[in-house]
Amino acid sequence: MRRLIAAICFAIAAFASPVLAEDGYDLWLRYHPVEAAYAAQYKPHATAIIGGDTPILASAKSELKRGLDGLLAQDTPIVSQPVDGAIVLQTGDTNLPEDGFRIGAKTLDGHPVTVISARTDQGALYGAFRLLREIQTRAALTDISDAPKIKLRVIDHWDNLNGSVERGYAGTSIFDWWRLPDLVDPRLTDYARAEASIGVNGVVLNNVNAKADSLTAPYLQKTEAIAKVFRPWGIKVYLSARWTAPIELGGLKTADPLDPAVQAWWNAKADEIYALIPDFGGFLVKANSEGEPGPGDYGRNHAQGANMLAAALKPHGGIVMWRAFVYSEHDANDRAKQAYNEFKPVEGQFADNVLLQIKNGAIDFQPREPFHPLFGAMPKTNEMLEVQITKEYLGQGTHLVYQGPLYEETLKADTYAEGKGSTVAKIIDGALDHHALTGMAGVSNVGDDRNWTGHDFSQADWYAFGRLAWDPDASSRDIATDWVKMTFSDDPAFVKPVVDMMMASRETAANYMTPLGLAHQMATGHHYGPGPWVCDLARPEWNPCYYAKADAKGIGFDRTKTGSDALAQYAPAAAKQWADPKRMDERYLLWFHHLPWDYKVKSGRTLWNELVTDYDIGAKQAAQMQQTWAAMKPYVDPERFAAVSANLSIQAREAKWWRDASIAYFQSKSGLPLPTGIAPPEHDLDYYKSLQFPYAPGH
């Protein structure tokens, strides 16, 4: 009997536990019941749902029902006539900006209701998600009005047609190209819901290193099947276009953008696409970069290339996102200068439906880079920002590195292009130069892993991307706070330490991988783990040694006048902040300066001692995250708790590996002793050099 009672008590306790097993599939849209007292406040304002029947409004209503039913533990009816306390979706409010919304109390036919008013259906959908977020984060009931500051909020999938994902660390592609269009994975609807919930309104389906096959009739049918799933969630599909498609598919002899036959081929291709997908978004293009073909192969410049595609899309309302990520093995210039050198001369020549898509920094998604010098340098061009959500250079699938602060750092960076306050955010939201066509893109970290992103905390990068693309002035801490509450728990004893850990994590990673402004010290190809010693690759700028330039005397890349003078590509007031090593933010020190090992940094240490100390701090901070998380056990379901714990132990181990391998290598150059109190690397340099990872993912 006693046993039975104990078993019953155990069963009740387990059932009542707020921490039932979860697998992360629901992301930040879990809609678990809120506390009774909070629910009681809300229930009178959420008695029913009313709204029109267009596909997008139907999505909004179904999401509201799903959310309210879960959060308030009720069965919310969808009704057609106003009743007291209904939530009403109203569209056509021409006073509101496109896709904006207002949420507030009103009286309708004598009934007190909450109205989500919007100009467009999409605005109403965003309002619905916003209302749910308010409840999820336990916000007080108040009037809200909001609108996206950026027009195109786009996720770029680097997904290949064979199902693999370039730089993907969360399984294989969610797009099953082989079985589409017949089999459409229901998961794609949940994917679209997640994107819509953070305001994303465009998805590029295939890798920028594109195959022409995506543009063939069978593959366009497959794309159309995906578009059908995305449309009710306000999401347009885009494709990466392969420059030489007219040759590969059309049998033409050339892909010269000035050739009438080439133009005719693209015009016909655009007509074919729009006949099938009338709201097709347009093309993303990687041209003349890392071996991809482009207009440069025919002696034409980027504007001539982009404009040819833009002309084909224009009659249908489509746009071109032309990537600025270019560098060439034939160019002996500092790689950080090459994109600016290629694009600045064609300023003013791009068609109005072209956006130049510029990575946050001039090299490649490093743990820290100064903002790209092209921001603000081309005021007549529509400039959009590209960030990487997937963590190619930030610990890939296993490190907890919240990128919100990285994105925020770029967005808040002042280019001084038109005086103080010319932030990257103001450039990409169009405010500075009055552009209407604006955009921000993020390279996806989503795969077919059950929790979408591999690491549970990598969901936060996806979430933060969406929120910052909606409002580039938002705070990454506020975003992390919302995400933590929605994804795990709103208990302050959980939220505070976890948000603090997230906010510090990017600095931690920069410390154990690339402190003091070092960059690109990762191993070759897969970019997994350290490889600072690599110096024998065909192209100079593929080698980590190119970036650190460490020798017996010192370390760092001189980008001042005495070196590559990349500094001169920035507006003088921006350049000034990095010109003097004595007066700059030392987190960028070695990005801009080559300095002797005995150079004194602000802490009073020598550069050598500081470098070693930073690696050491980074490794310790990574280990510390394990303790922070261990204390969070009572607040998290066992499945996610264990998964995050496992990843944190991998991270602590790999942070130490980064520390040890880097110190061993740089000590082989400096020949200097370690500062007192700093433990020597566990192994010798040859050991670290010998490690091989042929099966590292994402490559």
Q: Cα separation of 338 and 362, whole Å?
A: 9
Binds ligand BDP by CB under 6 A, chosen from 283, 327, 365, 465: 365
Q: Under the criterion CB under 6 A, does residue 364 sit at the interface with ligand BDP?
A: yes
Catalytic residue, candidates 290, 347, 352, 637: 290
Q: According to CB under 6 A, which residues from 41 to 60 bind ligand BDP?
A: none
Q: Under the criterion CB under 6 A, does residue 269 sit at the interface with ligand BDP?
A: no
Q: Under the criterion CB under 6 A, does residue 399 sit at the interface with ligand BDP?
A: no
Q: Which residue's CB is nearer to ligand BDP, number 338 or number 613? A: 338
We find the least distance from the C-beta atom of residue 12 to ligand BDP, in angstroms, to be 52
Q: Cα separation of 422 and 417, whole Å?
A: 6
> How many other C-beta atoms lie within 10 A of the C-beta of residue 414?
19
Q: Cα separation of 433 and 435, whole Å?
A: 6
Token pair for 57: 């409004």
Q: Which residue's CB is nearer to ligand BDP, number 166 or number 248? A: 166
Residue nearest to ligand BDP (CB): 364
**Total site size for ligand BDP, rule CB under 6 A:** 9
Q: According to CB under 6 A, which residues from 420 to 479 bind ligand BDP?
A: none
We find the least distance from the C-beta atom of residue 453 to ligand BDP, in angstroms, to be 18
Q: Cα separation of 242 and 292, whole Å?
A: 8
Catalytic residue, candidates 63, 99, 156, 364: 364
Q: Which residue's CB is nearer to ligand BDP, number 234 or number 295? A: 295
Q: Which residue's CB is nearer to ligand BDP, number 365 or number 665? A: 365
Q: Cα separation of 620 and 414, whole Å?
A: 32
Q: Under the criterion CB under 6 A, does residue 208 sit at the interface with ligand BDP?
A: yes
- Report which of 170, 205, 649 is spatially closest to residue 451, judged by C-alpha positions: 170
We find the least distance from the C-beta atom of residue 207 to ligand BDP, in angstroms, to be 7
Q: Under the criterion CB under 6 A, does residue 31 sit at the interface with ligand BDP?
A: no
Q: Which residue's CB is nearer to ligand BDP, number 392 or number 614? A: 392
CB 79 within 8 A of CB 111: no
Q: Which residue's CB is nearer to ligand BDP, number 100 or number 439? A: 439
Q: Which residue's CB is nearer to ligand BDP, number 65 or number 167? A: 167
- In terms of DSSP H, where are the helices of 324-403? 335-343
We find the least distance from the C-beta atom of residue 309 to ligand BDP, in angstroms, to be 18
Q: Give me the residue label for tokens 């350290």.
A: 530
Q: Which residue's CB is nearer to ligand BDP, number 365 or number 452? A: 365
Q: Which residue's CB is nearer to ligand BDP, number 102 or number 323? A: 323
Q: Count Cβ atoms within 10 A of the Cβ of residue 690 and give its class: 0-12 exposed, 13-18 middle, 19 or more buried.
A: exposed
| DSSP 8-class letter at 167 | T
Token pair for 589: 């020190």
We find the least distance from the C-beta atom of residue 362 to ligand BDP, in angstroms, to be 13
Q: Under the criterion CB under 6 A, does residue 102 sit at the interface with ligand BDP?
A: no
Q: According to CB under 6 A, which residues from 222 to 261 bind ligand BDP?
A: none
Beta-carbon contacts of residue 662 (< 8 Å; ≥ 6 apart): 513, 521, 530, 532, 615
We find the least distance from the C-beta atom of residue 428 to ligand BDP, in angstroms, to be 18
Strands 144-146 and 101-108: antiparallel
**Mind spelling out the 3-state secondary structure of 353-371?**
CEEEEEECCCCCCCCCCCC
Q: Which residue's CB is nearer to ligand BDP, number 343 or number 599? A: 343
* 364 labelled catalytic: yes
- In terms of DSSP H, where are the helices of 43-120? 55-71
| DSSP 8-class letter at 530 | B
We find the least distance from the C-beta atom of residue 523 to ligand BDP, in angstroms, to be 12
Q: Which residue's CB is nearer to ligand BDP, number 99 or number 392? A: 392
Binds ligand BDP by CB under 6 A, chosen from 129, 266, 283, 325: 325
Catalytic residue, candidates 99, 292, 392, 507: 392
We find the least distance from the C-beta atom of residue 158 to ligand BDP, in angstroms, to be 7
Amino acid residing at 631: A
CB 150 within 8 A of CB 429: yes
Q: Cα separation of 424 and 413, whole Å?
A: 6
Q: Binding string to ligand BDP for residues 285 to 324, with x set by CB under 6 A, is what?
A: -x--------------------------------------
Q: Under the criterion CB under 6 A, does residue 209 sit at the interface with ligand BDP?
A: yes
> How many other C-beta atoms lie within 10 A of the C-beta of residue 77?
12
Q: Count Cβ atoms within 10 A of the Cβ of residue 173 and give its class: 0-12 exposed, 13-18 middle, 19 or more buried.
A: buried
- Report which of 337, 358, 363, 369 is spatially closest to residue 570, judged by C-alpha positions: 337
Q: Cα separation of 114 and 45, whole Å?
A: 7
- Report which of 153, 195, 154 is spatially closest to residue 174, judged by C-alpha positions: 195
- Report which of 390, 389, 450, 397 is spatially closest to residue 26, judged by C-alpha positions: 450
Q: Under the criterion CB under 6 A, does residue 339 sit at the interface with ligand BDP?
A: no
Q: Under the criterion CB under 6 A, does residue 167 sit at the interface with ligand BDP?
A: yes
| DSSP 8-class letter at 457 | G
We find the least distance from the C-beta atom of residue 542 to ligand BDP, in angstroms, to be 10
Q: Cα separation of 175 and 230, whole Å?
A: 13
Q: Under the criterion CB under 6 A, does residue 157 sit at the interface with ligand BDP?
A: no
Q: Cα separation of 316 and 278, whole Å?
A: 8
Q: Under the criterion CB under 6 A, does residue 166 sit at the interface with ligand BDP?
A: yes
We find the least distance from the C-beta atom of residue 549 to ligand BDP, in angstroms, to be 21
Binds ligand BDP by CB under 6 A, chosen from 195, 369, 392, 586: 392
* 329 labelled catalytic: no
Task: Provide the Cα torsion 218, 219, 224, 226; round to 10°.
Answer: 130
We find the least distance from the C-beta atom of residue 533 to ligand BDP, in angstroms, to be 20
How far is the CA of 382 from the CAs of 97, 145, 274, 418, in angstroms?
20, 27, 24, 16
Q: Cα separation of 9 and 668, whole Å?
A: 63
Residues forming the site for ligand BDP (CB under 6 A)? 166-167, 208-209, 286, 325, 364-365, 392
Residues marked active site are found at 290, 364, 392
